[in-house]
């Protein structure tokens, strides 16, 4: 897995008390309310994801901000929302700031005792949408608790010390990864105590990994199989030995079964005494 850290192309705060003023050259990013009603602050940022290599899969994306001023009493939630139109750092104001989607794309809690340091917010889904084009990348807006006085301040890219600048840290893998929904299997209590997972289709250049987790109090065994059809009545061929999974909450309760063999479909078998539950998390990568 590789990591890339991006700096904002644009970052600026907007102030309701100064609705037509632009603060594009300021060294701070403010959120929440300051002294009274009508005195709200928000911050907008834009990151260009063109540096993330093509045909990659973003596994995690975190927005990192350096908190240097905190007037929160108890705690507040700071949320990120995608902006619906483009904007310019040297022109944006409270009055002309683009509209934003009410859907929350990321959130973090700032408490009264939160130390002055880097804080982070997970925006993986939003970054994936920007990267694959399903969400237009107009940047995001940060909004705090605007019902009470709770001003927070982060450093902007205009601050001299670059170690405190906002960052978007992205973890990615080369190639396109498909993540399938978790499948829960229960070993039959009667007859043959073996059960197979659903067959996952493969392509000519796809690798597959099944993350298999024992969710029961008894040990089970699992193995990987390959086949040329998703029909369970058609012969599947073993691709490795049986792997023992210890009981839930042990250090060996899970295993990753990976195949690089050529086949049209792949699945896993699970064997137990009967009644055990196992969770399967399939992943394919091209």
pLDDT tens digits, one per residue of 144-201: 988 888 889 999 999 999 999 999 999 998 766 778 999 999 999 988 899 999 999 9
User: Are the C-beta atoms of 244 and 221 separated by less than 8 Å?
Assistant: yes
Distant-in-sequence, close-in-space partners of 107: CB < 8 Å, separation ≥ 6: 77, 78, 79, 80, 121
- As given in the structure block, the two tokens for residue 45 are 């940022």
CA–CA separation, 63 and 5 (whole Å) = 10
Domain boundaries, the chain: 2-174, 177-285
pLDDT for 127 equals 96
> For residue 72, is pLDDT > 80?
no
CATH of domain 177-285: 2.60.120.680
Phi, psi for residue 163 in degrees, rounded to 5: -70, -15
| Residue 233 burial (C-beta neighbours within 10 Å; 0-12, 13-18, 19+) | exposed
Global pTM reads 0.69
Q: Note the pLDDT tens digit of each residue in 94-130.
A: 999 999 999 999 999 988 777 788 899 999 999 999 9
């Amino acid at each position: 897995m590789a990591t890339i850290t991006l700096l904002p192309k644009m970052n600026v705060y907007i102030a309701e008390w100064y609705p037509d003023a632009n603060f594009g050259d300021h060294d701070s990013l403010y959120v929440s309310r300051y002294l009274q009603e009508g005195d709200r602050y928000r911050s907008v940022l834009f990151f260009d994801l063109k540096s993330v290599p093509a045909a990659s899969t973003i596994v995690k994306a975190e927005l990192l901000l350096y908190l240097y001023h905190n007037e929160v009493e108890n705690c507040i939630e700071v949320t990120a929302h995608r902006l619906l139109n483009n904007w310019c750092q040297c022109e944006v104001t409270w009055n002309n700031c683009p509209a934003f989607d009410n859907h929350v794309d990321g959130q973090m809690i700032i408490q009264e005792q939160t130390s002055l340091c880097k804080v982070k917010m997970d925006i993986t889904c939003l970054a994936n949408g920007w990267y694959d084009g399903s969400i237009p990348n107009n940047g995001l807006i940060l909004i705090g608790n605007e019902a009470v006085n709770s001003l927070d301040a982060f450093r902007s890219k205009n601050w001299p010390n670059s170690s405190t600048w906002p960052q978007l840290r992205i973890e990615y893998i080369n190639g396109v990864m498909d993540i399938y929904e978790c499948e829960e299997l229960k070993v039959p209590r009667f007859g043959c105590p073996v059960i197979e997972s659903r067959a996952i289709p493969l392509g000519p250049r796809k690798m597959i990994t099944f993350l298999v987790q024992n969710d029961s109090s008894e040990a089970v065994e699992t193995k990987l199989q390959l086949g040329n059809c998703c029909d369970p009545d058609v012969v599947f061929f073993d691709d490795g030995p049986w792997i023992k999974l210890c009981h839930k909450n042990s250090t060996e309760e899970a295993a990753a079964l990976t195949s690089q063999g050529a086949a049209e479909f792949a699945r896993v078998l699970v064997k137990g005494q009967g009644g055990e539950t196992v969770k399967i998390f399939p992943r394919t990568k091209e």
